[in-house]
Amino acid sequence: MTIRTLLLTPWMTPHRVISYERAIVLSFLGKVEVVAEYDELIRSPSLTIRAPAVVRQRRARHAGKTRVTFSRLNVFTRDGFTCQYCRVTFERRELNIDHVMPRSRGGATTWDNVVTSCYPCNQKKAGRTPEEAEMKLLKRPVRPTSLPARARLDADQSELPALWKAFWF
């Protein structure tokens, strides 16, 4: 099985899901403190420790240091897998990305010009702007500074380990 660790912000809110190996490294570096441990033992030639289930960052990372990679999946994640025109939440395979200013009219494929769209809305809007198509955007697209761990996990449709539940809200 894959052991995953929930990384919390210094304020105890979910930040992201990391591998337990990464969590152990961060713990040794003093960057995180272990909040909860699994029963599973991790054995290496030199030591045996319990796998960290939940760790907490000791300090906030400097703003601007993290850059969310631009990808279709990350656009869907930013938008909560919700079509930004009809406001319905879909499965990943039912979603497309829509250029707010159409590509045919010079619109760029960038965080601030693409939104999550279902295929029917995408087809209906076609080569028009939201104003021309009279299709109101749920929100103006912007580059995210981080992606919500919850959305990422929902996308995986994974089950939450029991030890995470106290921190997952």
Binding residues vs Zn ion (CB under 5 A): 83, 85-86, 118, 121
Q: Give the nearest distance from C-beta 82 to Zn ion in angstroms.
A: 9
Count CB-CB contacts under 10 A for residue 2: 6
Q: Give the nearest distance from C-beta 83 to Zn ion in angstroms.
A: 3
What is the CB-side half-sphere exposure of residue 67 using CA atoms within 13 A? Answer: 4
Of 92 and 165, the one with the shorter C-beta distance to Zn ion is 92
Of 134 and 156, the one with the shorter C-beta distance to Zn ion is 134
Count CB-CB contacts under 10 A for residue 127: 12
DSSP 8-state code for residue 10: T
Classify 124 as helix, strand or coil: helix
Q: Give the nearest distance from C-beta 154 to Zn ion in angstroms.
A: 19
Of 77 and 84, the one with the shorter C-beta distance to Zn ion is 84
